[in-house]
Amino acid sequence: MKIIPAIDIIEGKCVRLEQGNYSIKKIYSENPLEIAKQFEDNGIRNLHLVDLDGAKTGKIVNWKVLSQIALRTNLKIDFGGGIKSYNDLNIAFENGANQITAGSIAVKDKQQVLSWINKYGNEKIILGADVKSENIAINGWKVNTNLNVFNFISDYFKNGIKNVICTDISKDGMLEGTSIDLYKKILEKLPDIKLIASGGVTNISELNLLIDINVDGVIIGKAIYENKIKLQELQKYVD
């Protein structure tokens, strides 16, 4: 299972929100590059980098942070937040992203995302499925839709998507445990997708539960920053 720490960026700083609420923000570092280097120094090979300003404004804002981390570490970076067009994709890839996550745009403009998959391949494009009560939420989680998560992922899987990040918004940043039951249901219905769990991971024992249900990767954020999970503990799990 891939261990994927998260760095969320607002105004160039490393922050965490609670349930995507921009008004409940905690700054953990003024220097995201140093955080990324700490991850790499502990054997981590993957990074989930989110441009929260981009998610809010609908265009990439913090591309310089992406560029710095890509140039000065060997981390495999998946980048999301504000990606809406081929121009955004070019900005992300030119500044060092290995993969991009298509979230809101995958709901709003399916044909465009399918064209990205066709052009770049399904290893470069990750589907972002942000979930509230088993329905998809978009626009930095501010807008709830009636789109069922299982139907959403299944439709994209039929059209070539392989990697899916599923975030349970109710869990994100709350340190109350991850959504094992939701991920289990998704993998029972769609056993061939590569599912990356995101949101609420609080302790090391949860990683074993996620491994047991064949999750491909796990994104860990606040638990690392609040020292609920230590980087040294993660070393034995690194894929």
What is the spatial distance between Cα 194 and Cα 196, in angstroms, rounded to a whole number?
Answer: 7
Tokens found for residue 17: 């929100």
Beta bridge pairs of residue 118: none
CB 78 within 8 A of CB 126: yes
What is the SS3 assignment for 143? Answer: strand
Tokens found for residue 41: 């120094």
Catalytic residue of the set 8, 51, 78, 216: 8
Catalytic residue of the set 130, 168, 172, 216: 130
* Amino acid type, 91: I
What is the spatial distance between Cα 74 and Cα 63, in angstroms, rounded to a whole number?
Answer: 17
Tokens 């392989």 found at: 162
Q: Are strands 46-51 and 76-80 parallel, antiparallel or unpaired?
A: parallel
Tokens found for residue 160: 């070539």
Tell me whether residue 41 is one of the annotated catalytic residues. Answer: no
Q: Which helix (H) or strand (E) holds 151?
A: helix 149-158
What is the spatial distance between Cα 221 and Cα 110, in angstroms, rounded to a whole number?
Answer: 29
Tell me whether residue 216 is one of the annotated catalytic residues. Answer: no
The conformation of residue 82, written as its DSSP 8-state character, comes to: S
Catalytic residue positions? Answer: 8, 130
